[in-house]
Structure 1
Amino acid sequence: MAVLAGVLTCLATAGLGRWQLQRADDKLAAAALMQRRAAEPAWTAADWPCAAAGMQPAADLPVDRTARLSGRWLSHRTVFLDNRPMDGSSGFIVLTPLRLSQGPCQGQVVMVQRGWVPRDVRDRQRVPEWQDTDAEVSVPGRVAQQPSRTYAIGDEAVPDVRLHRVIRQNADAAFWQSWLGQAPLAGALLQTDDEGPTGVALLRHWTAPDAGVGKHQAYAAQWFALSAIAAGLTLWFQFLRPLYRARARSLAQPDPSRP
């Protein structure tokens, strides 16, 4: 049983080490893909798949490719996604629908993850106020599979349509259909320029695809070290140590053939 436990421990820890290396390789591959797509021409509203609605990830969305969409902000339907830390501080991610003004998807909306704002420590329900322009804007960014999502316990109730700028954990297609009256197109735009609404500073320190590669490699080294230790202990206590003890006992016993 001890040998079996040692072998299983070795295999399990080695498997966890390989898994961490695979995660590091996946992130490096995602970063390399992002670099290649950054060199490609920016996506526009003419490229966005109009048939894929409901904010579900679409297979033909080139995630992390640069994009530039033209449209008008639906500022009164801005959502502040709660419990989204950035740079070690608590705050909200600002999510605003952009109604496209060009291309085959004209009139439909794409969710734009505009940036991050800190939470008011004195009033946790207070959100910043600003006035977006009513004119057409051109928003640069990167294509994302979907807006930011986090784990939430239970379902969130849909707010009254008369409310503007609400705080939520997540905003799915059913929420937008009820509150906006229109399901957004698949995916989202991760805004990357440094300009924000007048009087509001939005941070855009989005996580890079290769973030955490070193951490995964360090975890892998730890798991492989544990696997080596388990192998060494199993070999020593179950095989080498009994062999040495048996040899020592045989050497300590007197030889009956000697006078």
Structure 2
Amino acid sequence: MSVSTVRTNKYSRRGLWGAIVAVIASLTMTSLGIWQLQRADDKHQRLTQIEQRQQRAPLSIYDLPKNLDQVEDYPLTISGNWQKEYIFLLDNRINNGRVGYEVLIPMEMDMRFVLVNLGWINAPKSRNDLPDINVQELPMTIQGTLYLPRRNPAITETANSTDTWPMRIQQVDIALMSRFFGSPLAPFVVLADPDESSKFVREWTPVVMSPQKHLGYAIQWFALAAACIIVTAVAIRKGIRSNDIK
């Protein structure tokens, strides 16, 4: 076997493996781009749903269906007695670059307990300190939006039964918070409507990443997939020419 034949076979194997790797990488990046497009569509549908449902008349807690997915993002009006000694502080909430907490307090209505998210409050400089929260003048009627919290399985660190009140928590886990509270809590949270007179900041963002950002990521993945194919094709072509010259 001649030297040129050996070189040709060696190059052919390298070219084949390079092409296989390029195809796999391109397919992976294309799949990620398609996934980002799907996420953009999901976010667009959610924003459209929120806009449509926010235009409806406020619901009463007594009119809620069993399937709460049907009324998520609906306006809701509740009245009752605040359980002011039981304050949950949702940790690591960011507002305009500042770290703070979201304040959640149960409200009692005919032996039903509903968590109300009153909004964001700034955290003290020291991690050992908790914010000074005055909830003595809370209104007995609250208007807000019905929100279904999603538990993040990646978050394992949270409060425990030995913690004192106010209690710092890492996520809204209704089942766990019900145990700490001592009574079952409704499986949803009321996000209190913005109020200029309130000391709590209420800038709710139900969709953290916009559809436009997902679309931008999709374009980047598709561009990378195309670049991978082009670079590989050019490299193979140059290799073939170089081998022919030899």
Q: Tell me how far apart the structure 2 counterparts of residues 209 and 155 of structure 1 sit (CA, whole Å).
A: 24
The two structures have a TM-score, normalised by structure 2, of 0.82
1:11 is displaced (CA, Å) by 0.6
1:98 is displaced (CA, Å) by 1.2
| 2:89/2:169 contact within 8 Å kept | yes
Which residue does the alignment assign to 2:113?
109
Structure 1 residues 66 and 59 mapped into 2: Cα distance closer, same or farther (>3 Å)? Answer: closer
Figure out how many residues of one structure are paired with residues of the other and give that number: 230
Which residue does the alignment assign to 1:156?
159
Which residue does the alignment assign to 2:173?
172
The two structures have a TM-score, normalised by structure 1, of 0.78
Partner of 1:67, secondary structure, is strand
- How large is the Cα RMSD of the aligned pairs? 2.7
Q: How does 1:142-221 map to 2 (within 5 A)?
A: 142-146=145-149, 151-154=154-157, 156-159=159-162, 163-194=164-195, 201-209=199-207, 211-221=209-219
Q: Tell me how far apart the structure 2 counterparts of residues 196 and 180 of structure 1 sit (CA, whole Å).
A: 29
Which residue does the alignment assign to 2:222?
224
Give the structure with the higher percent helix. Answer: 2
Partner of 1:91, secondary structure, is strand
1:171 is displaced (CA, Å) by 4.9
Structure 1 residues 154 and 39 mapped into 2: Cα distance closer, same or farther (>3 Å)? Answer: closer
Q: Tell me how far apart the structure 1 counterparts of residues 219 and 176 of structure 2 sit (CA, whole Å).
A: 44
Amino acid at match of 2:169: R
Q: Tell me how far apart the structure 2 counterparts of residues 59 and 241 of structure 1 sit (CA, whole Å).
A: 61
1:105-130 deviation digits (Å, cap 9, x = unpaired): x3201111110001011464222231
Give the structure with the higher percent strand. Answer: 2
Q: Tell me how far apart the structure 1 counterparts of residues 202 and 153 of structure 2 sit (CA, whole Å).
A: 18
Q: Tell me how far apart the structure 2 counterparts of residues 150 and 124 of structure 1 sit (CA, whole Å).
A: 26
Q: How does 1:1-259 map to 2 (within 5 A)?
A: 1-49=17-65, 59-100=68-109, 106-122=110-126, 124-133=128-137, 137-146=140-149, 151-154=154-157, 156-159=159-162, 163-194=164-195, 201-209=199-207, 211-238=209-236, 240-245=237-242, 249=245
Structure 1 residues 87 and 66 mapped into 2: Cα distance closer, same or farther (>3 Å)? Answer: same
Amino acid at match of 1:8: I
Q: Tell me how far apart the structure 1 counterparts of residues 222 and 192 of structure 2 sit (CA, whole Å).
A: 40
Q: Which moved more, 1:107-116 or 1:35-44?
A: 35-44
| 2:118/2:192 contact within 8 Å kept | yes
| 2:194/2:201 contact within 8 Å kept | no
Structure 1 residues 207 and 174 mapped into 2: Cα distance closer, same or farther (>3 Å)? Answer: closer
1:37 is displaced (CA, Å) by 0.7
Amino acid at match of 1:126: L
Structure 2 portions without partners, runs of 5+ = 1-16
| 1:94/1:115 contact within 8 Å kept | yes
1:180 is displaced (CA, Å) by 2.2
Partner of 1:36, secondary structure, is helix
Q: Tell me how far apart the structure 2 counterparts of residues 153 and 233 of structure 1 sit (CA, whole Å).
A: 44
1:209 is displaced (CA, Å) by 2.8
Q: Tell me how far apart the structure 2 counterparts of residues 16 and 147 of structure 1 sit (CA, whole Å).
A: 24
1:76 is displaced (CA, Å) by 1.1
Q: Which moved more, 1:115-124 or 1:203-212?
A: 203-212
1:62 is displaced (CA, Å) by 1.6
| 2:104/2:115 contact within 8 Å kept | yes
